[in-house]
Structure 1
Amino acid sequence: MRDFFTLARWMPGLVALLEYQRAWLLPDLRAGLSVAAVALPVAIAYAELAGVGAVVGLYSCILPMLAYALFGTSRQLIVGPDAATCAVIAAVVTPLAAGDATRHWQLVMTMTAMTGFWCLIASRFKLGVLADFLSRPILLGLLNGVAITIMVGQLSSIFGFTFDESELIERIAAAPNYLSLIHWPTLGISLLALAVMLACRRFRPQWPSSMLALAVTAALLWGLGPERAGIMVVGTISGGIPSLQIPEFPPGLMRELVLPALNLAMVSFVSMMLTARSFAAKNGYEIDADKEFRALGMANLASAVSQGFAISGADSRTAVNDANGGKSQLVSVVAATVIALVTFLLTAPLQYIPTAALGIVLVMASLSLIDLRGQWALRHSDNAAFWLAWITFVGVLFMGVIPGITLAVLLGLFQFLRNVMRPTDQLMGMNEEGIVHTLGHNEEVKAVTGVLIYRFNSPLTYFNASYFKRRVLLLLNGEKYQPKCLIIDAVSCFTHQDISVMSMVGELHKELKRRGIHMVMAGRRSQMTHWLHQAGIRVGEDGILLYPDLYEALRMTRCYREPEEPVAEASPAAPASPREWLAES
């Protein structure tokens, strides 16, 4: 039994396969074949985007799919080459490789392995919470920028020319100069591939449109024979099991890959979790973010070992899996098996695939990433999210993919720090039933006479303690009548011991005592007693009053009374003790 729990902890996918239900077999086989039909052409296209051979894209599907089937917790998620990850890899590796194809491939494998190690480290330290670090608006802006970058980059393959410029804005500005360089036979193949894909999606949406487009154009070029009018094709693909290659580039280049690999791990994980969570919610089960981080790391290491490139969760292939009724991780096993058979036995027909058709496949895949309408719609629901999304989007377009991802990570960090350092806060009151609610537009909730009930919606720590004190004093100064006591909801803000926070509490208590206001803490009484004693702050009648919750604090302090005098006329002298003040109440 102990061994089973250990296995479930480390390989939840394998446990799910051991508990497999026979009724799932046919749906999983059907879904696996459908996923393979979609993944094959996309993998070849993404290999082109990453700057490596077509067979590398196939290698990046086989072992990673099997690894995720063993280590993943999602029943529907399909991992594999992804447009965003391939764009990042190309942006990092291409300038470092300096035109050396072998070095380029080795750098790709090294960066993939680093990405896998970063994911495993994050899983070890239970950093699955980072799935929520890049907010949805930031990721929306990032993916929109990456998609447009990919689409502009593929114009050279579609129209049959080569860009001299390396950056997006420069390429767009120079686009009119390339009109005279259009290779019309290449453009014709591109239009044919586009027509096949659009017709397939219109009349036979259940068919793999990408595979059909590549098959039609490859058959046409095969029929033309060696005379292909200068149309570029994938070329000979050496299938079979990849041989182990030891990197031969200077170790110093590895330092150039460390931070980009970290960025890639972050973005890949967040994107994968968005897909995994959405399909898990649809099918009524939960996934474990920390185990998903481990599964992504193992899948990337498996890809590096098999000489592939970095992978992530593939939303389009996951959607195909779900639409075909896939029930378990066996779908990944079936799809990987089919792709392996093609890679090892049927690579000869793949050599006739035109790069122009691959460009169309990539453009169509990138279109599925674009959601400018949703990004613009944020202005109605969340103005801060709107600006975060558009700053990220513009950053990717003007600075490039890697600086854009770095900007997105920094924006996510700043957004988090802002929310923690300057959180929302509320004053509380009671309704006629005696239930505590937030004061606001609800006229049924009234302030308690003689009492200020305060809630701070963030854990108190050294960098927001002074802000907490300023907010309390500002709210007290804004009261028309001097309250007799301040009740602080300790549950929401006193989550851990911090010497700076305790120092601030002592200063605030002295200031309130000088004003004749008793300081009351509601909630976490045992912890607060221990922490305040350690900080040398008095607790009880001569110090801060502590109660188990807000209702007990209100009941014991008996602060239900009419105000006696305005703040301006209040005497600064405090009652001798809370007990005397309670007796007066």
Structure 2
Amino acid sequence: MDNETSRADHKNLLHRYLPILTWLPKYKPAWLRHDLIAGLTIWAVLVPEAMAYAGIAGVPPIMGLYTIPIPLFFYAIFGTSRTLVVGADSAACLISASAVGALAACGAAEYLALTTAMAIAVGVFLIVFGTLRMGWIADFISIPVMAGFLEGVVLVTIIGQVPKLFGIGGDGGNFFGKLLAIIRGLPDANLTTLALGVGSFVLIVAIGRYVSKLPAALTTIIISIVAVSALDLTTKGVDVVGTLSTGLPPISLPDVSLIDYMAVIPGALAILLLGYIETVGAAAGAASKEGGRIDPDQELVALGTANLGAGLSSGFVVAGSLSKTSIAMKAGGKTQISHVVSGILAIATLLVLMPLFANLPEATLAAIVIVAMVGLDQTAKLKKAMKFSCTEFVLGMACFIGVLTLGVLQGVGLGVVLSLLVLIKKACRPGTAVLGRVPGEWTYYRDIRRRPDAETIPGLLIFRFDARLIFFNCNFFASEVKRNIAKAMEPVKTVLIDAEAMNDIDITGADCLIRLNAELNHKNIVMFLTHVRDPLRDKMRRMGVVDAIGAGHIYETTRGGVDAFVASRKTSLGMGDDMTL
């Protein structure tokens, strides 16, 4: 029996870390046609996008193609989503470029090596975090903060592509420095390049809107290559990607030192956080549509292996994509087999089709990026935050401005720090309420701020604390109790603490409760507790709270505490049982 249990445990563990063992044996032959079509569709999207996003990362287009196959294969093995597509991601590429650009000159051999090292570092961190089941890290960035960051990324990325669109030289610095450099360079704009870039932009948008069955970016690339070749536009100053090496990349570690790996850690952690949020969001969205479910911790491992594979094959960082996943689902993709097909087609592209890309204009790649960025606009989410939560809107805008002024990596750090500060503030200052009886519903006690008709009981303060009572909020708890005692219309004789939301207490919180009880007793005020759940009561008993307050002062319900107060007041005032307060 023990051996059978052990084998079952090993099998479950194997299936948890290798989800392909769960779905592949159940694969239906009827799905193959759908997966083949979806695989071809995804390939048609990934190839042009990867080459274009390579420009965001500051590396040659060929490295974008290197980024496609192995990440797709590895995610198919380790991922828990049936249809999630992993690939080049604009935000991750921009963070990578920002972090690596501070260590090496763009285009240098060291820069390329550090870019692949970044992908490996991201992969290792993701795998470690996933193994430790740290999927909760995504909770540290709220939707408005993420929206503010992405909106900043959109503008920074677009402004970084504009020089290619105009055929002028770009400049470093922040968003405003790049904008100023573009304005200064406008007199030197190459009109042929501009016409080709704008034409590519319009063509991509038009195909997407009116001929949606065609792969817009790939079709535009083919047309632009034909135009450059037929009209010999390179003689008119149009920049092209040039000759790209044919063949598969070597599987190897980049030639960088341990110190170099240490230097890319800040950028790797930023990419980890944002890439994971995007990946889980895309995977969860796909799972909800297809009726499946995902394991967020295993997604960390899967995304980690994908990035590790990208780095080992001379590629750059990758993340899950909601837009590409949606395309895969619309194309009828049933499983990750479709992505394996895409990976095989990408390998065929590297082996056979590379000479065809020699006359691919840089302006067309820039247009592909700009169209993709326009589709990432986060204005609606920021407007929603402004409507419902001023604090979260300010956080989002602070992150947005931080990206534009300080830089992408610094903007991520600012967003995380501000989110943590707000989280700490909310934890230290949880909700509180003074409760009163609702007329006609004498067993119900409601927040008097939300129910103006709720009546307080003279001499009794019913106080609810909406959080655990622990070291970082216990002083706030005590001060709120005393503040409400001081502002009561009549002198308070009893404080009834409603502990319904107080599901835990630590030593500091227990000491605070004991000290507050002693302070109130010194002022002839009695403390009652109500709605104390058994686990909390057990901890209070071990920590001495029950002995300090008195077991007889702890009640099951608010009504029980109120009745005890009424009875004690009648006794102290010499009233009969038939009299009411």
TM-score (norm 1): 0.89
Which one of the candidate residues 220, 223, 227 is aligned to 1:216? 223
The reply on whether 1:30 has 2:37 as its aligned counterpart is yes
State the secondary structure of the residue aligned to 2:282. Answer: helix
Distance 1:519 1:292, change over 3 A: farther
The reply on whether 1:555 has 2:557 as its aligned counterpart is no
The reply on whether 1:492 has 2:501 as its aligned counterpart is yes
Q: Deviations over 1:490-548 (max 9, x none)?
A: 352342x522112111111112323334333334544334433443444387467334x
Provide the rounded CA distance (Å) in 2 between the counterparts of 1:81 and 1:41. Answer: 11
User: Which residue is 1:273 aligned to?
Assistant: 280
Q: Deviations over 1:387-409 (max 9, x none)?
A: 11111111110111111111111
1:148 Cα deviation from its structure 2 partner: 0.3
RMSD value, Cα: 2.8
Identity of aligned residues (%): 28
Q: Deviations over 1:403-424 (max 9, x none)?
A: 1111111112112111111122
Provide the rounded CA distance (Å) in 2 between the counterparts of 1:63 and 1:544. Answer: 67
Distance 1:562 1:141, change over 3 A: farther
State the secondary structure of the residue aligned to 2:264. Answer: helix
Q: Is the 8 A contact 2:94 2:157 kept in 1?
A: yes
Which one of the candidate residues 522, 525, 538 is aligned to 2:530? 522
Which one of the candidate residues 129, 133, 136 is aligned to 1:129? 136
1:366 Cα deviation from its structure 2 partner: 0.9
User: Which residue is 1:141 aligned to?
Assistant: 148
1:448 Cα deviation from its structure 2 partner: 6.0
Provide the rounded CA distance (Å) in 2 between the counterparts of 1:323 and 1:380. Answer: 33
Q: Is the 8 A contact 2:471 2:508 kept in 1?
A: yes
Which one of the candidate residues 61, 66, 69 is aligned to 1:62? 69
Provide the rounded CA distance (Å) in 2 between the counterparts of 1:410 and 1:508. Answer: 34
User: Which residue is 1:513 aligned to?
Assistant: 521
State the secondary structure of the residue aligned to 1:80. Answer: strand
Provide the rounded CA distance (Å) in 1 between the counterparts of 2:458 and 2:19. Answer: 56
User: Which residue is 1:568 aligned to?
Assistant: none
Which one of the candidate residues 353, 358, 367 is aligned to 1:360? 367
Larger deviation, residues 324-333 vs 52-61: 324-333
Distance 1:157 1:316, change over 3 A: same
Q: Deviations over 1:144-169 (max 9, x none)?
A: 00110010011111111112443321
User: Which residue is 1:319 aligned to?
Assistant: 326
In structure 1, runs of 5+ residues without a counterpart are 566-573, 576-580
Equivalenced residue count is 566
Larger deviation, residues 350-359 vs 534-543: 534-543
Q: Is the 8 A contact 1:448 1:559 kept in 2?
A: no
Q: Is the 8 A contact 1:540 1:546 kept in 2?
A: no
User: Which residue is 1:408 aligned to?
Assistant: 415
Provide the rounded CA distance (Å) in 1 between the counterparts of 2:247 and 2:496. Answer: 72
State the secondary structure of the residue aligned to 1:362. Answer: helix
Provide the rounded CA distance (Å) in 2 between the counterparts of 1:314 and 1:272. Answer: 6
Alignment-mate amino acid for residue 185 of structure 1: T
Q: Is the 8 A contact 1:54 1:234 kept in 2?
A: yes
User: Which residue is 1:292 aligned to?
Assistant: 299
Within a 5 Å distance, the mapping from 1:303-452 to structure 2 comes to 303-431=310-438, 432-433=440-441, 434-442=443-451, 445-447=454-456, 451-452=460-461
Alignment-mate amino acid for residue 50 of structure 2: A
Distance 1:228 1:317, change over 3 A: farther
Q: Is the 8 A contact 1:131 1:289 kept in 2?
A: no
Provide the rounded CA distance (Å) in 2 between the counterparts of 1:285 and 1:395. Answer: 38
1:377 Cα deviation from its structure 2 partner: 4.1
Which one of the candidate residues 461, 464, 483 is aligned to 2:473? 464
Provide the rounded CA distance (Å) in 2 between the counterparts of 1:226 and 1:153. Answer: 23
Q: Is the 8 A contact 1:451 1:483 kept in 2?
A: yes
Q: Deviations over 1:197-227 (max 9, x none)?
A: 1221232023211111111101222334595
Q: Is the 8 A contact 1:529 1:546 kept in 2?
A: no
Provide the rounded CA distance (Å) in 2 between the counterparts of 1:213 and 1:100. Answer: 26
Q: Deviations over 1:442-464 (max 9, x none)?
A: 45655467643333233332121
Distance 1:38 1:448, change over 3 A: farther
The reply on whether 1:202 has 2:245 as its aligned counterpart is no
Distance 1:384 1:234, change over 3 A: same
Q: Is the 8 A contact 1:36 1:335 kept in 2?
A: yes
Provide the rounded CA distance (Å) in 1 between the counterparts of 2:548 and 2:171. Answer: 76
In structure 2, runs of 5+ residues without a counterpart are 1-7
Alignment-mate amino acid for residue 455 of structure 1: R
User: Which residue is 1:571 aligned to?
Assistant: none
State the secondary structure of the residue aligned to 1:487. Answer: strand
Alignment-mate amino acid for residue 256 of structure 1: A
TM-score (norm 2): 0.90
> Post-superposition, which runs of at least 4 consecutive aligned residues in structure 1 deviate over 6 A?
562-565
Q: Is the 8 A contact 1:449 1:562 kept in 2?
A: no
Larger deviation, residues 532-541 vs 69-78: 532-541
The reply on whether 1:102 has 2:109 as its aligned counterpart is yes
Alignment-mate amino acid for residue 468 of structure 1: F
State the secondary structure of the residue aligned to 1:262. Answer: helix
Alignment-mate amino acid for residue 260 of structure 2: L
Distance 1:199 1:99, change over 3 A: closer
The reply on whether 1:236 has 2:204 as its aligned counterpart is no
User: Which residue is 1:453 aligned to?
Assistant: 462
Distance 1:286 1:444, change over 3 A: farther
State the secondary structure of the residue aligned to 1:384. Answer: helix
Q: Deviations over 1:180-213 (max 9, x none)?
A: 1101221122122123212212320232111111
Distance 1:517 1:67, change over 3 A: farther
User: Which residue is 1:504 aligned to?
Assistant: 512
1:119 Cα deviation from its structure 2 partner: 1.5
Q: Is the 8 A contact 2:241 2:359 kept in 1?
A: yes
User: Which residue is 1:569 aligned to?
Assistant: none
The reply on whether 1:51 has 2:58 as its aligned counterpart is yes
Q: Deviations over 1:67-94 (max 9, x none)?
A: 2222222233211101101111111112
